[in-house]
Amino acid sequence: MTSAVYTNDRRRWRGPKFVLAIPAIIWYLLFFIIPIAFVVVYSFGTKDTSRLLPVDLGKLTTANYSQVFDDTFFKTFKATLRIAIVATLLCLGIGLPVAYFTAFKVSEKWRVVILTLVVVPSFTSFLIRTVAWRIPLAPNGEFSRWLVDLGVIGDRGIQLLETQTAVQIAIVYNYLGFMILPLFVALDRIDVRMREASKDLGAGRIATFIGVTLPLAGPGIAAGVLLTFIPMCGDYVTATVLGGAKGNMIGSMIASQFSQAQNWPLGSAMAVLMIGAVLLVLASGALLVWLVPFILKALQPVTQSIRRSIAERSLASSKGDKPSTARGIDVMRIVFAIWTILVLLFMFIPILLVLRHSFNSGSSFSIWAGHTSTKWWGELFASGATWAMISRFLVIIGVVLLVRRVLLARGNVSKRVTSWMGPLAFLLAFVVNGVASDWFRDIFDFAGIGDSIRNSFTAAIGATLVAVILGGLSGVALARRPGAWTKIFMATVFLILVTPEIMDAIALVTWFQRVGDVPVLGYLFKNGLGPFNGGMHKLWVGQSLYASAVVTLIVRARLAGLDEALEEAAGDLGATPARAFRQITLPLISSALIAGALLSFTLCLDNAVISTLVSEAGSTTFPVALLGATKSTIKPFWGVGAVMLFMITMGALAFVAVVLRRSGESSSDIAATLAGG
């Protein structure tokens, strides 16, 4: 009797089903739905440059839409979609063998190595990698001259820079990792027994792949396509850096409507149509996939006859030469291995170039001036502070290791203490160095870009925190308390994912302007708080939108596979919902939260489009500053900055990995986490 009353009490206490999603709902309403609605309204306005916000909403018109359809602008739309579709298919074609090879053909150890190698390039600045493609593509560059000397190409060298082909290459490169990882995760989850059963039932390797593996990997393929195609459509950076007039994409065209032409209504109309176009392509893609079984069924008589003839032929050939199959498998494996190595090399080309060109003796990053020089690195190592810092690190860690050794020799301390000493020593050295010297300042002040590196981290960490909190809570709510609200919420999340970044950027920039004088809401964005200025708050909001949507999906997927029995048991045992959440749910979703945090951290660190529009003086991030520099000359010290940013990121990740390992997660879990799954 009492327990029943208890339960009822608890149920009533819970409030509405979407209570955990309330923070996300408020956030999306304030910073996505309302701002985007304004952009939709602008698209019916007329241009009026005499106003501060150059839109006249006095007379609403659809002229902007007809202008987009009438004009040659429409061709850019089509070109953009073509580039994105081709690039998505290329990513799929290039990435699938790699994912397949990694999932099925290598040992656990090599799997971790390959996945790490796929992930690592994405921790180098997206923008600098794109700029680095100028180096091998330049007609006067060494690579081009070398090809000319070999007689492979004509005297004028490689003629790819500032063309659509250059954009196509770089865009495939930029998004390949985002295709390989979801494909791998999907393939890795396939039960090997399914494939074995297929083979036992007489299916060949190709038949197994098409009939069993591919359908089971469907969700992974869908995720990969979404993660690559949508950002490609809105991509602004690649076309701006490499595209020239012929490689213009709609993202940069929309951006130039807002900034250069100050034609906000037309830009808004383009952005709205662009979302429509992206949704249309995705819908037709989905329709195509849905139709595949029907098409296959219709074609069954044909395929079966083909299959039969193949089977007969292989039977005939296997009679003659039995071991050929065994050798065949080896050949396939070697082919896959070579392919994977080539793809990994491709992914590292720009990174190696960035490293090399940070030692360029010339004054331009992309033009190699003949010999190496440490002058751009010199600024960083000019003062003795760097060496003092390194020696402090070595001394402190050395001392701690010595103490640890002594403690271990005595053998009377718990393993817990000794295993945590390494990371703690590192932290201690970090703090001591910060207190004892100005080395943070020395490193972060060099060449004037240190600030941007620091801002990048402040922005990315803040936005990731927001994303993890919002996405974690709403992910739990979606999985645990589904209801009528789920559909609306999921539609919003999907809309956030498909909205091109440039549209978010514009929506937010005008929104912040509007709410600037609203009490409470506007205060943070206008005046800032504590050490963070208004621009930093704007960055947190802007970068957290896409990231929180991604975290939501990851957490929801993780919880969908687990039933609620554990939480209910905790409740029955008298735990409050808060306690049940803390002690049961949180540990269950921790790996999803870490995966989501890593993914959003990477995305936020590279964010250029939203950040460029919303940032202010004093909150300029590395990609924003670099994007500014791409407009004139990129000095080699940007390469130095990119390498620094990369090393700091890798250092932080290594630290996180060590801490996770010490707290008991297995290495394969960590690998899986790093791989985004």
CA neighbours within 13 Å on the CB side: how many for 370? 0
In terms of Cβ atoms closer than 10 Å to its own Cβ (0-12, 13-18, 19+), residue 466 is buried
Residue 219 vs 628, nearer CB to other proteins: 628
Residues with Cβ within 8 Å of 626's Cβ and at least 6 positions away in sequence, in order, are 125, 127, 128, 131, 452, 608, 634, 638, 641, 642
From 258-266, 280-288, 323-331, 666-674, span contacting other proteins (CB under 8 A) = 258-266
Residue 167 vs 554, nearer CB to other proteins: 167
φ/ψ (deg, to 5) at 574: 100, 5
Residue 95 vs 500, nearer CB to other proteins: 500
- Tally of helices (H runs) and strands (E runs) in the chain: 35, 2
Determine which residue in the list 42, 44, 229, 258 makes contact with other proteins, applying CB under 8 A.
Answer: 258
Q: Which amino acid is at 292?
A: V
Residues with Cβ within 8 Å of 215's Cβ and at least 6 positions away in sequence, in order, are none
Helix or strand or coil: residue 529? Answer: strand
Nearest Cα to Cα of residue 271 among 31, 539, 506:
506
Determine which residue in the list 633, 666, 667, 668 makes contact with other proteins, applying CB under 8 A.
Answer: 633
Residue 283 vs 382, nearer CB to other proteins: 382
Smallest distance, other proteins to C-beta of residue 617, A: 3
Smallest distance, other proteins to C-beta of residue 284, A: 23
Smallest distance, other proteins to C-beta of residue 245, A: 4
- The full length of the chain comes to 677
Per-position x/- string for 501-540, each x denoting binding to other proteins as judged by CB under 8 A, each - no binding = --------xx-xx--xx--------xx-----xxx-----
Query: What is the DSSP code (8-state) at residue 160?
Result: -
Residues 263-292 that bind other proteins (CB under 8 A): 263
Q: How many C-beta neighbours within 10 Å does residue 8 have?
A: 10
Residue 137 vs 599, nearer CB to other proteins: 137
Helix or strand or coil: residue 71? Answer: coil
Residues 592-631 that bind other proteins (CB under 8 A): 613, 616-620, 624-625, 628-629, 631
Q: How many C-beta neighbours within 10 Å does residue 105 have?
A: 16
Residues 39-98 that bind other proteins (CB under 8 A): 47, 49-50, 52-53, 71-73, 75-76, 79
Smallest distance, other proteins to C-beta of residue 212, A: 44
Residue 366 vs 543, nearer CB to other proteins: 366
Nearest Cα to Cα of residue 504 among 240, 174, 242, 254:
254
Evaluate whether 228 touches 95 at the Cβ level (below 8 Å). Answer: no
Smallest distance, other proteins to C-beta of residue 499, A: 19
Smallest distance, other proteins to C-beta of residue 138, A: 4
Residues 397-436 that bind other proteins (CB under 8 A): none
Smallest distance, other proteins to C-beta of residue 534, A: 6
Per-position x/- string for 217-256, each x denoting binding to other proteins as judged by CB under 8 A, each - no binding = --------------------------xxxxxx----x--x
Q: What is the CA radius of gyration of the chain?
A: 28
Residue 164 vs 600, nearer CB to other proteins: 164
Evaluate whether 453 touches 598 at the Cβ level (below 8 Å). Answer: no
- Helical spans, DSSP H, in 561-585: 565-572, 577-580
Residues 430-449 that bind other proteins (CB under 8 A): 445, 447-448
Residue 256 vs 418, nearer CB to other proteins: 256
Q: How far is CA 540 from the centre of its chain?
A: 16
Residues 145-184 that bind other proteins (CB under 8 A): 156-157, 161-162
How many residues line the site for other proteins (CB under 8 A)?
A: 73
Determine which residue in the list 23, 97, 139, 285 makes contact with other proteins, applying CB under 8 A.
Answer: 139
User: Does position 130 bind other proteins by CB under 8 A?
Assistant: no
Smallest distance, other proteins to C-beta of residue 86, A: 16
Residue 325 vs 364, nearer CB to other proteins: 364
What is the C-alpha separation between 527 and 113, in angstroms, rounded?
Answer: 47
Helix or strand or coil: residue 518? Answer: coil
Evaluate whether 266 touches 259 at the Cβ level (below 8 Å). Answer: no
Smallest distance, other proteins to C-beta of residue 411, A: 54
What is the C-alpha separation between 287 and 572, in angstroms, rounded?
Answer: 46
Residue 149 vs 330, nearer CB to other proteins: 149
Residue 79 vs 672, nearer CB to other proteins: 79
What is the C-alpha separation between 274 and 253, in angstroms, rounded?
Answer: 11
What is the C-alpha separation between 91 and 173, in angstroms, rounded?
Answer: 8
What is the C-alpha separation between 560 and 479, in angstroms, rounded?
Answer: 6
Q: Give the bridge partners for 372, in sequence order.
A: 360
Residue 242 vs 498, nearer CB to other proteins: 242
Residue 466 vs 614, nearer CB to other proteins: 614
Smallest distance, other proteins to C-beta of residue 675, A: 36
Residues 340-379 that bind other proteins (CB under 8 A): 362-364, 366-370
Determine which residue in the list 144, 168, 174, 602 makes contact with other proteins, applying CB under 8 A.
Answer: 144
